Every structure is written in C-alpha cells, then in structure tokens.
Amino acid sequence: MTQINRLQGGQINRDRPLKFMFDGKFYQGFEGDTLASALLANNVRLMGRSFKYHRPRGPLTAGSEEPNAIVELRGGARREPNTRATTAELYDGLVAHSQNRWPSLAFDAMAINDRFSNFLTAGFYYKTFMWPKAFWEKLYEPIIRRAAGLGALSGREDPDVYDKGFRHCDLLIIGAGPAGLMAALTAGRAGADVILADEDFRMGGRLNAETFEISGQSGADWAASAVAELSSLPNVRLMPRTTIIGAFDHGIYGAVERISDHLHMPDADKPRQILWRITTRQTILCAGATERPIAFDNNDRPGVMLASALRTYANRFAATPAKRIAIFTNNDDGHRTARDLQACGVQIAAVVDTRPDAALSTDYQVLRGAQVIDTKGRLGLTFAEVKLADGSERTLECGALGVSGGWNPNVHLTCHQRGRPAWQDDIAAFVPGGILPMGMRVAGAATGALSTHQALVTGKEAARKALGLKGRAPKVADAEDMPVNMTPFWYVKGTTRGWLDQQNDVTVKDVKLSHQEGFRSVEHLKRYTTLGMATDQGKTSNMGGLAIMAELAGKSIPETGTTIFRPPYTPVPIGTFGGRMRGTEFHPTRLTPSHNWAKEQGAVFVEVGNWLRAQWFPRPGETHWRQSVDREVRQTRASVGVCDCTTLGKIDVQGTDAARFLNFVYANGMAKLPVGKTRYGLMLREDGIVMDDGTAARLEEDHFVVTTTTANAGKVYQHMEFVRQCLMPDADVQLISTTEAWAQYAVAGPNSRKLLEKIVDADHDISNDAFPFMACANITVCGGLRARLFRISFSGELAFEIAVPSRYGDSLMRKLMQQGEEFGVTPYGTEALGVMRIEKGHAAGNELNGTTTALNLGLGRMVSTAKDTIGAALSRRPGLNEADALKLVGLKPLDPETKITAGGHLMRADGPVDAAHDQGYVTSAAFSPAMNSMIGLALLKQGDERLGETLRLVSPLTDLTISVEVVSAHFVDPKGERLRA
C-alpha cells in the first residue's frame, strides 16, 4: 500500500486515507483523489486497452476529456462500464476493473490485432466484410462485436434511482474556474439569482491545478475563499459535480448532477444522479480550454500525457506518473509544466521544444528545434526518441512525457444551436463564433483569452453586461497575464502510427488514407475513420485530425472547418435520461373508483389508455379465460351483469349554443335532441374519416353530457376545444372534462331494471313508459345521492348506465352486487363487453381504426347532408364513395369449430390469394355463446350486397385458410326488441 509516486502538498486530505481495489489488487489513496490520480500515486500507469488494437493505455488527461483511462466501476447490478478514471472521485472501498482485455491487462490476447494494424486501417470494415453478404449477420458482426468495444453492462436492473428536476435563475454560470468564480461573485454580490455549475467536485477549475497567485494568495486558496463567499449568499446556488450537457432553445440548459457517484452507494433517500432542466435568462460560459497533444509515432504509451495534466496531478493531487519526466512542447506553457514539476521534486529529462528560438533555462535542459519521433516501453513509457535540430537523434530516459500542442477553448456549448466557431491565429485554435445561444456570453479561456488576469476581467465584465450593472466596476485582483507564445505544430513529419484519437484508435495514417480515398470533408473524415466518434467525442483529437486534413488538402484549418458539436458534452447514462420513468412508472396508471373492489374479486386487469380495466373475473374452478368470459356473457344476457365503464371519456357541454356546437361537431343531427334523451353520436375528422363515437345526453336545454371511447377521451376533448376556440369562437358554449368526476356502471340484462329499481330512489320512475330506451335524467339513488341515469345499451340487452360522483363508485358497485344477488348478478369485464358488442355488430376501436368512414361502418346515412358539420364535406369525396367501398358485415365459419382471427384477409371462394384479389379483412373476432360459434366482424368490399356468400378467410402469417359465410353483423336480436323491453 505504498504510494511511491506521491508528492508533497496538493489538495488531498492525508487524514482521510481511502482503500480501493483495481483489477483485484488493493491500493491506498486519499480523499480528494480521483481514481486516476490515486493509481498514478501508486505507480500504476497502465489502466486500459485500446478499442481496436488493444494497445496498453494510461491516462492522457486529468479531466472529462479523457480518451484512454476508461474503466469499469463497481460490481453486481451497479457495474458501470466506460467510466473515466480521471473524473471518478475516489471513495473508500471503490472497486474498479480495466476493460477490453483478456485474460489480463498486462497480457491481452487480442493485442495480436496490433500486429495486423496494416489491415485494420480506416474503412477496414467497409472493404473487408462485404462478401458474402449473408456472412455479415451470422459471422462477421458477432466476431467484430466481441473483439471490439469497451466495457459491458451488467445486464441487471439498475438498483439506483435517477431523478429529474427543474431550476430557474437569472444567470447560469457554467464552469467555476477563475472566470466563472469572478462572474458569480460579481452577479451574486449584485443580488442576482445565480446558479454556478461545475463538473468537478472541487470548484476552482485550473486554479486548483496551477501554482500562480491571485492577490498574493495561491490560486486554490483564492478559489476556496470565493466559493466560501458564494456559499454564504442566499441568492447563489452552487452545483458542483454538475455537467451542463447541452444548450437548448430559449435559455434552457440540460444539466447532470452526480449526487451519489462519489459514494459507495447512494444514501437511502437520495438518487444517483439528477437530470436538471435549468431555465435561465442569461448565461455565461466559462468552460475553459483543453490542452491538445502532438502526434508522433507511438505517442499512446502509458506515461505519454498532456503536459497540463502532469501539472494538475502534481499540483492538485500531489501525484506523478514517474520521477523522471520529459516535456514535448510547441509553446511556453510546456515550460511552465517543467518548472512546476521540478518544483515538486520531479526530475526533468529535457524539454523538447519544436521552436528553434525557444527560451533556454538554467534549471533544465531545453532541446530547441527538436521533436519527439518515437517512444519505447512495452506496458509503459521508458524511453523517448528525440530528433535534434541538427538531425541527430538522442534517446531520453523518462517514465512520462508531457505533451503540449497549445490550448483549444471549449466552445462546445456555444455551438449547440447556431454558433460556428471562428479561427484565431495567435493561439491557432477555434474560438466561439457565429450566433450564440440566446442570452449566452463567454468569458475566460473559453474565449481564447488564456491568462488568469483575462479570466477575471472577462468574467466580471460578462456578469456586469448580463445583468446590466451600471456604475464603476471594482478592480479585479492581481493575477498573471502571460501572453500566449506558441508556434502551431500538429504532428511530426513522417509519422504513421502516431495516434490522433486514442479512444477509437485513429492514427495519422488513417487520416492520410481517408484523404487518399476521397473522404476529405471533415464530416466524411469523421465517419470514415471514426475520428472523434468515441465517448470523448474527440475533445483531444479532432483538431489534430483537422490540421492534417487541411495540410493534405492544401487548405487552411478554418477553410477545412469543424464537425458540428452536439449535446451531450460528456456521456450521460441512459438511466439518467429515463429518470423515474421505469417499469410501471413509465406512464401514469389510472384506477377507477371501484378498482379495489374488482381486485378483491380477483379480476384480471388490462391496460386501456392509462387505465387499468377489469378484463374478466375468474371464478373458482375456471381454468381458461374463455370459461369466465362465456359465463359473464351468458349470465348478463340471461339475467343481469354490471360493467365498470368509468373510463369512457365524459365531457360536459354547457351554454346557450351547446346544441348548435354539438350539431357541428357530430356528423349526425344533435340540434333537435329533446331534453331527457340520449343519442348515439358519430364524430368525423375533417377529412371524412371516423374519429370517435359515443353518446350525447341532453340533461337540460343548455346542458349536454357526451361520452367518448376510453382511448380517445383526451383527443376528443382537445378536438372539441379546437372547434370551440378556433372555429366557433363566438358561440356561447363551455366544455369541461368530467371523466374523473363520475363513476359510471353499465347495468345490462333483462333483470337490469329490476335491480336498479332497488337502488334508484322511489320518486324516479324508471319503467319502460316513463324511462324508455335512450332516456336520460338526473336522479337520486340510495336515499338522496345525486346520480345520472342513461338508458343506453352496448350489449344489446335492456340496459342502463348509472353514474354517481366518483367517491361513491366503490359503494355503488358493492351495493349493485349485493342487491343483485337474488338475480344472480355478475360483474363482467372488457372481454365480455367486447363479445356482446361483436354479437350486436357495434363498431368499436378495431373498426374505428383511422381508415374507416361512416359509409364503411354502415352509418353513412347518419352523416347529415342538411347541415355543415366537421368532416361532412370531405366524406362525400368520390374516393371514399366508390361502388366497391368496404362495408361492415358479420362472418360465420362454415365449420363452427374453427377459429376466426382478427387481421385475416378475405378472398373469393376460388381464385388467387394475393393482395390484388383482396376482398377485405376481419376487424374483430370472438366466440359467441349466443351463436355457439366463433363469429367475426369484417370490412368487405360491397359487403352489404354479399350476405350469404362464402369466402375464404386467409392469414398467411398463421397459415390459416378457412371458409366463412358473410352474414349480417347483427347476430343477436337484430330487430332490437330486447333493448326496448
């Protein structure tokens, strides 16, 4: 448990040692470490294998841009693949595994791929796995999938909870480096409602990683005191461990807050992560800059890192990958790394500077005009080969090599909408350009102004502008203001196996090949080579690829252009996007007032819309659902049954123009419906297709209650509001959905009146004379409880629907069952309901399928020609009124034992079975207890003229061919005598 590469100082808490395990071996780190810093402190540089060639890899960076140090965290159901060790906060008991290696990280059998790298270049899959075509799915793809890729999911359900939330503020500041902290201090002190978000667990950004001072304080101390002041301001919300993943329209930002990722497991009442939607008036992007590497042969060995990352590990984490380090740079910032490392006691092998005029140093050797041309070391760097200015070569012994190719401002969020980055020559990098997202300003290194002084100044100014602050601005604290001094240098000439994209194993050679084969636009380059397509989205690699492509094409880098930056900024677990919407919480579950009663009866439920409806009620001894359903149907038709129809949509329509309004909405006439009567209503879409059906009951002159099908309740209400507000704005009519306000039950069967007479208060006469078929009334039940009674029938029997306020639904159901005992009352579910409506030939959802017209359903005459209604004009289109239009008919199999399947198609008794000879299709099918046979409803060409014809019902999918007879759809009581009884 020795940390031989641990240095002095740093922002780690040596009083809190943490034990952790990597690849089965225990190590010790400290609070404040990341997994990567703790491993480096323990002299572990090798952390993974590369995607394609299985090359040994260690961390390249110290942040979220990391392409290499990708590990699997935790175990069991919490296993979390492809996690960046450079951002994983160390906790006691952390368990991590390396990925993409077998049998072990040090000896990986698939590293053989590296030997075949000449074959595995860009476009390899496209060229190699073309033939034979059938081999792709069965052979090539499975092999490739097994060989490539990184970590694997556990395959088990994630035990953690993920949440979503909304936040609002005046000013969102993204990034808590010097610019972000200064902006937050300025805005916070001015009283603005501020959110300051930073992906790191410690706010301060580069200040924590550097040695320079602000007003005589160390940068890290200045940051800590700024954070302390901000924490004390009630109008400032600090969100550490929070990544702003995307900039969306109108000042909305996506943010992922890692609540529990730094814990062994989340606290009992805490989610793992929260996806925030932050709505803000103004935004200041202080995302900083990312250092970029230089490509040279074998620049991917563990130990070759960004120079600034070495500085971060040394200054912030008191860790170093090696005790002797070389630097390869094209700018002055590389020298800063050398000085910082030397100050920490690390030996500097040399600073290799590409610039012939680079400043020399008395503290370390500077090799001017030199380049690193190759490296050695099987599982980690041991030597760097350097070509000196005079052409001679020298070998430097070093355990790490810091590479500094300049800095790229993190422009990503500025480009999530219409922003397109602009080129800035002095830093040879893209800076924010084009049209930024609404309300966004950029400050600090993200603008290309790379000094601390500039960060403080631009942070303050951005906040003042965002808030419109007037008056003299206070002076910012003293800080370094070193100019950027760099000469662009992207790759060492002659390099072939110099890595650009380490995560996707894209080399300089691949980019050259892409150019040679004509894939020269940056978007083509990206797809052909997969440059920048890995989980790091090319944060450290895209610029190098662009620069080489530009050079090959003889264009400038800005002419070559960049690919488009898209959210998310860093990878987000799918679970975070899902939030709580998992399993039964994927959508709301709606229960009717008598749901518990139905549950007590052992009902089997089915989802209809968001509702749970009883499908059937099994009785003891019944082993098949058909037994229960047949019994429910028989019992209802023989005596009385009760069905919960609360879920049907109910819309209250009131106002002096209510009748006129409904007359327009429904295809059939509603204007003359008398008070106390109910009428079937057919609603069309404007294109003449049936939208929905239901009933309209006129309770008073200016008060109707209309019903919709369960599934269309919301849609129909919305449609009616559209008609009211957009087409009839001058009408005096108001709508309100009362679906949830009333519990409603169908009481059906020859004994239904007798049963209801026991419940309806005696002063309401519900005899056939006083309350005939299609009557409706406001009544009272059970001694004064207000209720509504409708004499309507879906089953074809003498039937009523009774509605009571929702909270009485459960009691009413129990009362109906109790009072109905003498009649042998049965509850029935949606299956029995369906059987009875098929027996009656009533159209339902299967027939109202979005393609059928009133004519198809045999309801053509209902569409009034005397008035203008929604859909009437286009229902008269010639195309919908062809002579051979589909008509609703009934079907009976010639052999009553055979099954009819919905979805089967009808063909003539003789002749071909193909689409050209299609005669129609079966919409609904059921076993009819009344007919003692399977029956079906079908839409058949000219069906109304073909009763008695024998057809073939075919279903090629299920290999079914049977003979059926076309019959009337009204199987039971065709004259409707029962329902008028």
Binding residues (CB under 8 A) for another protein: these are 166, 248-252, 277, 279, 417-418, 435, 438, 686-687, 718, 721-722, 725-727, 729, 868, 872-874, 877
Q: Closer to another protein by CB, 364 or 717: give it.
A: 717
String of DSSP letters for 693-750: EEEEEEEETTEEEEEE-STTHHHHHHHHHHIIIII-TTS--EEEE-TTTEEEEEEEST
Residue 559 C-beta: closest distance to another protein, Å: 24
**Cα-based angle 71, 74, 79 (whole degrees, multiple of 5):** 85
Q: Least separation, in Å, of the C-beta of 251 and another protein?
A: 8
Distance (Å, rounded) from C-alpha 409 to C-alpha 417?
Answer: 17
- CA dist., res. 785 & res. 807, Å (int): 11
Written as six digits, the tokens of 657 are 């123009």
Count of alpha carbons within 13 angstroms of residue 153, beta-carbon side? 7
SS3 921: strand
User: Among 138, 128, 217, which Cα is nearest to 181's?
Assistant: 217
Long-range contacts of 473-477 (CB under 8 A, 24+ apart): 476/182, 477/214, 477/215, 477/222
In terms of phi and psi (left: phi > 0; alpha: psi -120 to 50; beta: otherwise), the region of 239 is beta
CB of 871 to another protein, least distance (A): 10
SS3 449: coil
Q: How far is the CB of 878 from another protein (least distance, A)?
A: 9
Q: How far is the CB of 689 from another protein (least distance, A)?
A: 11
Instruction: Please report how close the Cβ of residue 252 comes to another protein at its closest, in angstroms.
Output: 7
Nearest distance, CB of residue 599 and another protein, angstroms: 30
If the CB atoms of residues 301 and 724 are measured against another protein, the closer one turns out to be 724
Q: How far is the CB of 277 from another protein (least distance, A)?
A: 8
Closer residue to another protein, CB minimum distance, 715 or 754: 715
Strands (E), 249-332: 252-258, 273-285, 289-291, 304-306, 324-329
- Smaller CB separation from another protein, 360 or 671: 671
Cβ count near 515 (within 10 Å): 18
Please report how close the Cβ of residue 684 comes to another protein at its closest, in angstroms: 12
Nearer to another protein, 728 or 817 (CB): 728
Nearer Cβ to another protein (489/717): 717
| Strand boundaries in 361-510, DSSP class E | 366-368, 371-376, 383-387, 393-397, 400-404, 407-409, 422-424, 429-431, 440-442, 499-501, 506-507
Give whichever of 369 and 433 is closer to another protein, judged by the CB atom.
433
Question: CB of 849: closest distance to another protein in angstroms?
Answer: 19
Burial (CB count within 10 angstroms: exposed 0-12, middle 13-18, buried 19+), residue 598 = buried
Please report how close the Cβ of residue 537 comes to another protein at its closest, in angstroms.
23
- Nearer CB in complex with another protein: 112/435: 435
3-state secondary structure of 285: strand
Q: How far is the CB of 580 from another protein (least distance, A)?
A: 16
Sequence-ordered strand ranges (E) for 44-120: 48-49, 56-57, 70-73, 80-84, 94-97
Q: In this structure, what DSSP letter does residue 805 have? A: E
Nearest residue to 9 (alpha-carbon basis) of 208, 226, 228: 208
Query: Phi/psi zone of residue 345: left (φ > 0), alpha (ψ -120 to 50 degrees), beta?
Result: left
Distance between start and end Cα atoms, the chain: 91
Structure tokens that stand for 432 in this block: 């924010």
